[in-house]
């Protein structure tokens, strides 16, 4: 497959500087690209890599289209676009279509589809998948091999469910969802009532479900628990990375990012356009405001204002947390300064004088 | 399904105030409940939600049965019980039984059960499950679809093993266990002997097993490694949440909670009634005393006394850690105070004077 | 199976002190060993356990072969070797071979192998496994039950792929790899281009692959994402523990340890012989130098020098981080000292005097 550069410019709505007849056959990052690839500058801080790139052509932001740029080293062919990353993504989509030519969707004869399940048109079901009683699969959805779709579950239209996904009974997945392998939607929430007399933990039945709205992508090995009663809900357009834990009755809004290994405890409500970076943790029954950003490894123990940026465990506003981190690095200085001052003032040698310490310890 | 309130009161051993003839059809949290639902007050801090609830009936603690309460707004029907959460759980159990009416247990013809495996009475095996040679499954246990039970493994009676669980060879699961999808019991421990000359990591065979005692529940996508020799052991009544890592030769006592994404490294011994909150980590070869509580995201690097409550990474006693967190927030004040004092004393402007700093840096 | 001690000494290249005719039937840790087991001293700090051990025979380091040692209590039979842990591992390998006597490798009739897939000699494929079009499996490799090997994927020779592993299309696994259950190799990277106008996250196709080199072991429930373009790469001899997240286009060098629940974000390059301890996190686009050690729960936010040892979130050099942790514990002392000094100097009672505080707060 060859795509010539005038076609690329047309496809991405960009302005080509260079040879429209040249063609690319692949796509790669700036430093890996060969003279047969197109590449892109996604972040201005990598601009120096453009000069060194061997790419046939590079997508650049329109703002970079200056006289100075024209004389720079680097790929002779440039396409100026509004969003170089998105232009690049569109090329990848073309290449992917070429790579993944698939035959017509079929329900594999080595699958187990209950006769009361309802499959829309053009539904594919891979080998050894199980679709239970009264489950519904929307038109054009592809269920990979070895998946399990529980009774009364509903999966929308145009979804891509990769091999070895479990969607438990009564759960609902919207249209155009993508769910990666190893993910479990609808396992029981972690709910127990501890008997005070015996210390035994008695199971609280978890009879709710999970509702995944439209256009959601869920990574591999994710666990999303069903509500105790009612639903655990993932809002439209939200993207969830691998190995994430979402507890019972959590609500996540629209267009959020939940990055890998993050955990959200029960009944917490996450707003829209929230970013939870990798390995973040949020305790239960909280509210995270719209547009908040929780940075990596942070631990959230109280409600978060809209658009707040938090860092640390327990988390503080990002600027404050960074300042405190810097001051923590000065603790040796601080400690030394106090010794010096106390010595100067005749108050003993350490932050507490020996007399004070002995006196206070004796009282304890 | 309708349950009238006099029946509810009888079932839960509670005292009904209101109409015994009224009936509920479902159950929900206070704010989601409709006039057809029963709800409950689990935590006094949500008492204000009772007033606003539209529930038909609400379970309240006996201590709330006061004259003042009688005149409060909120659901007209109240059932006073010892433990409202547990009363609610009993209703959920009824509703669940109604929802999950299942047919008789069968061994699906699309499963692969070795002729030397031993299945008790009323055992169910889902499609595409594999039960290997000499594995034993106790009476009444339901093995979901696409499970793998290795050779010589034993699963007790009355267990519920959800789809896509792996229980590797020789592992043992007690009676009434519940294991959720994606969980792996008995993967190899992470054991290597590094050759000092070459830096190569040589595998140490992991020939032990995992023993899960009775009444244990294990969430989805959990990894429990087999012992190098001997057993990794999960004590009776312990409940493990999703995405937890339990390394080889760990021993967990009875009635513990191991919350989501916690990791416990090799050979650590956890006592009884211990709580490890979400994303906690415990290094190897430690002992955690009975009744200890490790709060979320804490990192445990030394033995823990019984009933200790720890927080932080590395963890400290909870009160101390909280106090230090508060003082950390005062670091800017502290730093400023030192500047002020040094200035007053003519000791330079910062915690270290410029002269000092240059002098000391020169020495390094 | 019995192994006599002279045979054990020969097998491990050790020097036997004791009875060559005595025999062991099993292996165990020092405190668990019975008089039918061999044990070993792996770490000098457990030397006292040797005395109390009931083992028939114990592997000791050559350095422990002193006259004093000869008269110590403990197992009468000792084999002095260069590396007691490795000697013990060799015994485990013998015992394992005895335990796991397996029949000839077969392709189970209840599997789905595409007619254009290429299987080497002695390849085993378990029931309900799927091997897609043009996938290649090297000689002697065992694919467990319920595995999924995607189109054009290649798995090398002599591999052990446990049940319920997913290796997606085009991914490559080298020779002698071991992959545990629940692991997903080649799920899509977490790549989205957010439309600034609408806030919608548009998927960037992930058309690269994963390359796992030779002699790699990967634990259970691990997620390794495919490159956006190009490869995510795991170097020869590297060992990855359970529940680890490796994002798109990460490169990990040779002979690394990546311990449980660690996450590595996109495009980060990890050198050779690096250790990432449990629950560590590394943000994207970083370089971790050869031989670096990242301790448990650390958060890496900038490049790491070769052989650096880091701790904390955000991480600092280990010695510094430990010193700062100790000084953090002195914050109450520091705070008190400042009050004392300010009082002495007539500067008010707290680190900030009340006047100062009111004045400053008024300005905000």
DSSP A44: G
Across the interface, whether the CB atoms of A296 and C316 are under 8 A apart is answered no
Is-contact C80 C13, C-beta < 8 A?
no
CA–chain centroid gap for C315, Å, is: 20
Per-residue burial over C121-135, b = 16 or more CB atoms within 10 Å of its CB, e = otherwise: eebbbbbbbbbbebb
Q: What is the total residue count of chain B?
A: 364
List of chains touching A (3+ CB pairs within 8 A)? B, C
Q: Are residues A288 and A140 in the same domain?
A: yes
DSSP B46: G
Closest partner CB to C337 (pick from A128, A332, A352)? A352
Half-sphere exposure (CA, 13 Å, Cβ side) for A215? Answer: 14
CA-wise closest residue to B76 among B18, B27, B20: B18
A contact residues 313-332, partner C, Cβ 8 Å cutoff: 313, 325, 328-329, 331-332
Q: Residue ranges of the alpha helices (H) in A229-270?
A: none
Residue C107 lies in a domain: no
Residue A326 lies in a domain: no
Element counts in chain B: helices (H) and strands (E):
7, 39
Residues 6+ apart with CB under 8 A from C204: A85, A88, A89, A92, C191, C192, C193, C228
CA distances from C225 to C230, C231, C265 (A): 12, 9, 10
Q: Are residues B206 and B238 in the same domain?
A: yes
Handedness of CA C107, C110, C111, C115 (dihedral sign): positive
Residue B221 lies in a domain: yes
Across the interface, whether the CB atoms of C95 and B279 are under 8 A apart is answered no
Q: Are residues C284 and C159 in the same domain?
A: yes
- Cis preceding-peptide flag for B314 (omega within 30 of 0): yes
More confident position, B345 or A360: B345
Shortest CA gap B291–chain C (Å): 24
Please report the pLDDT score of residue A47 as a whole number. 86
Please report the pLDDT score of residue B360 as a whole number. 53
- The list of chain A residues with pLDDT below 70 reads 68-71, 101, 349-364
CATH of the domain at B52: 3.40.1390.10
Please report the pLDDT score of residue B361 as a whole number. 54
Per-residue confidence at C364, pLDDT binned at 50, 70, 90? Answer: very low
Is-contact C136 C117, C-beta < 8 A?
yes
Averaged pLDDT for residues B281-287: 97
Q: Are residues B281 and B146 in the same domain?
A: yes
Please report the pLDDT score of residue B66 as a whole number. 81
The answer to whether residue B336 neighbours chain C at the CB level (below 8 Å) is yes
Q: What is the dihedral of CA B161, B166, B167, B168, to 10 degrees?
A: 170
* Residue appearing with tokens 């796992």: C212
Distance CA C103, CA A319 (A): 63
Of all residues in chain B, the percent with pLDDT exceeding 90 is: 81
Q: How is B206-248 classified by DSSP, letter by letter?
A: ---EEEE-TT-EE-TT-EEEPPSSSEEEE-TT-EE-TT-EE-T
Residue C210 pLDDT > 90: yes
Residues 6+ apart with CB under 8 A from C99: B207
Q: Are residues B63 and B119 in the same domain?
A: no
Q: Are residues C153 and C234 in the same domain?
A: yes
Closest partner CB to A337 (pick from B128, B313, B351)? B351
Catalytic annotation, pick one of A248, A273, A318, A359: A248
Q: Are residues A344 and A305 in the same domain?
A: no
The answer to whether residue B261 neighbours chain C at the CB level (below 8 Å) is yes
Shortest CA gap B199–chain C (Å): 7
Residue of B nearest to A169 (CA): B100
Of all residues in chain C, the percent with pLDDT exceeding 90 is: 81
C contact residues 63-102, partner B, Cβ 8 Å cutoff: 83, 85-86, 88-89, 92-93, 95-96, 99-100
Shortest CA gap C160–chain A (Å): 19
More confident position, C43 or C312: C312
Closest partner CB to A330 (pick from B243, B279, B335)? B335
Closest partner CB to B130 (pick from C99, C127, C239)? C127
Residue C356 lies in a domain: yes
Please report the pLDDT score of residue A247 as a whole number. 98
Averaged pLDDT for residues C237-263: 98
Q: Taking all residues of chain B, what is their mean pLDDT, rounded to a whole number?
A: 93
Catalytic annotation, pick one of B114, B180, B201, B248: B248
The answer to whether residue C348 neighbours chain B at the CB level (below 8 Å) is no
DSSP A115: T
Is-contact C232 B232, C-beta < 8 A?
no
Across the interface, whether the CB atoms of B187 and C219 are under 8 A apart is answered yes
Closest partner CB to B148 (pick from C29, C86, C146)? C146
What residues make up the domain containing C259? Answer: 112-320
Q: Are residues B117 and B244 in the same domain?
A: yes
CATH of the domain at C232: 2.160.10.10
User: Is the whole model's pTM more than 0.80, yes or no?
Assistant: yes
For testing contact with chain C, the best of A55, A61, A182, A293 (most C CBs within 10 A): A182
Q: Are residues A211 and A261 in the same domain?
A: yes
Residue of B nearest to C299 (CA): B313
pLDDT tens digits for range B258-275: 999 999 999 999 999 999
Residue B105 lies in a domain: no
Per-residue confidence at B364, pLDDT binned at 50, 70, 90? Answer: very low
Closest partner CB to C28 (pick from B191, B229, B281)? B229
Q: How is B251-294 classified by DSSP, letter by letter?
A: EE-SS-EE-TT-EE-TT-EE-SS-EE-TT-EE-TT-EE-TT-EE
For testing contact with chain B, the best of A166, A226, A320 (most B CBs within 10 A): A166
For testing contact with chain C, the best of B126, B180, B263, B343 (most C CBs within 10 A): B263
Q: Are residues C134 and C195 in the same domain?
A: yes
Of all residues in chain A, the percent with pLDDT exceeding 70 is: 94
Instruction: Give me the sheet containing C112-113, strands edge to edge.
Output: C112-113, C130-131, C148-149, C166-167, C184-187, C223-225, C245-246, C263-264, C281-282, C299-300
Q: Is B248 one of the catalytic residues?
A: yes
CA-wise closest residue to A271 among A300, A226, A299, A238: A238
Q: Which residues of A touch B100 (CB under 8 A)?
A: 169
Q: Are residues A269 and A137 in the same domain?
A: yes
Distance CA C222, CA B83 (A): 41
Residue B325 lies in a domain: no
Per-residue confidence at B352, pLDDT binned at 50, 70, 90? Answer: low
Please report the pLDDT score of residue C347 as a whole number. 79
Q: What share of chain B is helix, strand, coil (3-state, %, to 5)?
A: 20, 25, 50
Averaged pLDDT for residues C97-113: 87
pLDDT tens digits for range B21-60: 899 999 999 999 999 999 999 888 888 899 999 999 999 9
Distance CA B257, CA A318 (A): 32
Q: Which residues of C touch A108 (CB under 8 A)?
A: 112
For testing contact with chain C, the best of B130, B231, B324 (most C CBs within 10 A): B130
Q: Are residues C37 and C87 in the same domain?
A: yes
Out of C41, C71, C99, a domain closes at C99
If one counts the domains in chain A, the total is 3
More confident position, B295 or B63: B295
Distance CA B39, CA A250 (A): 19
A contact residues 109-168, partner B, Cβ 8 Å cutoff: 112, 128, 130, 146, 148, 164, 166, 168
Residue C206 lies in a domain: yes
Residue C291 lies in a domain: yes
Q: What are phi and psi of C8, to 5 degrees?
A: -60, -45
């Amino acid at each position: 497959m060859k795509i010539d550069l005038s076609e690329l410019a047309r496809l991405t709505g960009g302005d080509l500087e260079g040879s429209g007849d040249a063609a690319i056959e692949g796509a790669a990052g700036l430093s890996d690209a060969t003279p047969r690839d197109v590449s892109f500058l996604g972040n201005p801080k990598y601009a120096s890599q453009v000069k060194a790139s061997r790419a046939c052509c590079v997508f650049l932001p329109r703002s970079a289209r200056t006289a100075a740029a024209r004389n720079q080293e680097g790929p002779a062919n440039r396409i100026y676009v509004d969003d170089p990353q998105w232009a690049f993504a569109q090329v990848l989509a073309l290449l992917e279509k070429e790579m993944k030519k698939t035959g017509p969707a079929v329900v594999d004869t080595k699958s187990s589809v209950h006769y009361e399940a309802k499959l829309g048109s053009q539904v594919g079901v891979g080998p050894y998948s199980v679709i239970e009683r009264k489950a519904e699969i929307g038109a054009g959805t592809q269920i990979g091999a070895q998946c399990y779709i529980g009774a009364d579950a509903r999966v929308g239209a145009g979804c891509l469910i990769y091999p070895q996904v479990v969607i438990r009974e009564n759960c609902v997945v919207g249209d155009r969802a993508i769910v990666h392998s190893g993910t479990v939607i609808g396992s029981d929430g972690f709910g127990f009532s501890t008997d005070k007399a015996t210390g035994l933990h008695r199971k609280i039945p978890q009879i709710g479900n999970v509702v995944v709205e439209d256009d959601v992508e869920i990574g591999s090995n994710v666990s999303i628990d069903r509500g105790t009663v009612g639903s655990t809900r993932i809002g439209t357009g939200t993207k969830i990375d691998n190995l994430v834990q979402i507890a019972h009755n959590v609500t996540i809004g629209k267009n959020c990012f939940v990055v890998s290994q993050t955990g959200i405890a029960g009944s917490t409500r996450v707003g829209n356009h929230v970013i939870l970076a990798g390995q973040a943790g949020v305790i239960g029954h909280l509210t995270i405001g719209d547009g908040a950003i929780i940075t990596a490894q942070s631990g959230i123990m109280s409600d978060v204002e809209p658009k707040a940026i938090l860092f640390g465990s327990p988390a503080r506003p990002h600027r404050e947390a960074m300042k405190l981190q810097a001051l923590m690095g000065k603790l040796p200085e601080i400690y030394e300064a106090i010794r010096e001052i106390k010595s100067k003032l005749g108050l003993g040698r350490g932050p507490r004088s020996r007399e004070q310490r002995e006196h206070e310890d004796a009282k304890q």
